[in-house]
Structure 1
Amino acid sequence: MREPLAARPRFELTAGTTPLGIGRTSEVFEWSPGWVVKLFRPGYPLLQIELEARLVDHVCHATYENSAFLVPCPGRIVAVSGRHGLLYRRAGGQPMVSAMRQTGCPSPLARCGEQLANLHFAIHRIQAGAHTRLRGLPHQHAKLRWSIEAAPDLPRRLRAAALHALAALELADAADACLCHGDFHPSNVLVCRDGTVSLLDWMSAERGNAFADLAKTSVLLRFGRTSETHVISPHEEAARQQVHDTYVKRYFELAGVPDGPARLARWLPVAATARLSEGIGSAERSALLPLSEELLKEE
Structure 2
Amino acid sequence: MAAELIATTATKKVFHDGEKAIKVFNAEFPKAEVLNEALISARVEEIGGINVPRVLEVGVFENQWSITFDFIEGKTLQQLMDENPEKLPEYMEQMVNLHLNVMSKHCPHLNKLKDKISKQIQDIEELGDVTRYDMRTQLDSMPKHTKLCHGDFNPSNIIVKEDGTMFVLDWVHATQGNASADVARTYLLFCLQDQNKADMYMNLFCKKTGTAKKYVQSWLPIVAAAQLSKKRPEEAELLNKWAGVCDYQ
| Same fold at TM > 0.5 | yes
1:264 aligns with 2:216: yes
Equivalent position to 1:154, from 127, 132, 135: 127
How many residue pairs get aligned? The number is 248
Q: How does 1:78-93 map to 2 (within 5 A)?
A: 78-93=59-74
Distance 1:150 1:59 in 2: 28
* Corresponding residue for residue 155 of structure 2: 186
SS of 1:29's equivalent in the other structure is strand
Name the residue aligned to 2:174: 205
Task: Report if the CA contact (8 A) 1:152-1:276 is conserved.
Answer: no
TM-score calculated relative to the size of structure 2: 0.92
Residue 43 (structure 2) aligns with: 58
Name the counterpart of 1:112: 91
In 1: Cα distance, 2:13 partner to 2:125 partner: 26
Cα contact 1:97–1:112 (8 A) shared by 2:
no
Asked if the contact 1:118–1:250 (Cα under 8 Å) also holds between the matched residues in 2, the reply is no
The alignment partner of 1:242 has SS state of: helix
Task: Tell me what 2:102 maps to.
Answer: 123
CA-to-aligned-CA distance 1:34-56 (integer Å, 9 cap, x gap): 11110111210111111111111
Q: Deviations over 1:153-176 (max 9, x none)?
A: 22222212211110121xxx234x
Offset, 1:100: 4.4
Secondary structure, aligned partner of 2:101: helix
Q: Provide the residue aligned with 1:291 in structure 2.
A: 242
The residue aligned with 1:196 is 165
Task: Say if 1:252 and 1:22 are closer, same or farther in 2 by CA, change over 3 A.
Answer: same
Q: Match for residue 254 of structure 1? A: 208
Which segments of structure 1 move beyond 4 Å, counting only runs of 4 or more? none
Distance across 1 between alignment mates of 2:234 and 2:81 = 29
User: Gapped runs of 5+ residues in structure 1?
Assistant: 1-8, 12-16, 129-133, 224-236
Please tell me whether residue 279 in structure 1 is matched to residue 249 in structure 2: no
Higher relative contact order (CA 8 A, sep 6+): 1
Secondary structure of the residue aligned to 1:72 is coil
Matches within 5 A, 1:93-112: 93-100=74-81, 107-112=86-91
SS at 2:162's partner residue?
coil
Equivalent residue of 1:20, what SS?
strand
Which segments of 5 or more consecutive residues in structure 2 lack a partner in the other structure?
A: none
8 Å contact kept, 2:72–2:161: no
1:210 is matched by which residue type in structure 2? Answer: A
Equivalent residues of 1:188, 1:201 under 8 A apart:
yes
CA RMSD of aligned residues (A): 2.0
Residue identity opposite 1:70 in structure 2: N
TM-score, structure 1 as length reference:
0.77
Q: Equivalent residue for 2:58?
A: 77
SS in 1 for 2:13: strand
Question: How many angstroms does 1:108 deviate by?
Answer: 2.9
Q: Which amino acid is the alignment partner of residue 101 of structure 2?
A: A
Of residues 105-114 and 188-197 in structure 1, the stretch that sits farther from structure 2 once superposed is 105-114
Partner of 2:110: 137
Q: 3-state DSSP class of the match of 1:30?
A: strand
CA contact (8 A) 2:34 2:67 kept: yes
| Cα separation, 1, equivalents of 2:28 and 2:85 | 45
Question: d(CA) in 2 for partners of 1:146 and 1:52?
Answer: 18
AA paired with 1:111?
Answer: E
1:138 alignment partner AA: N
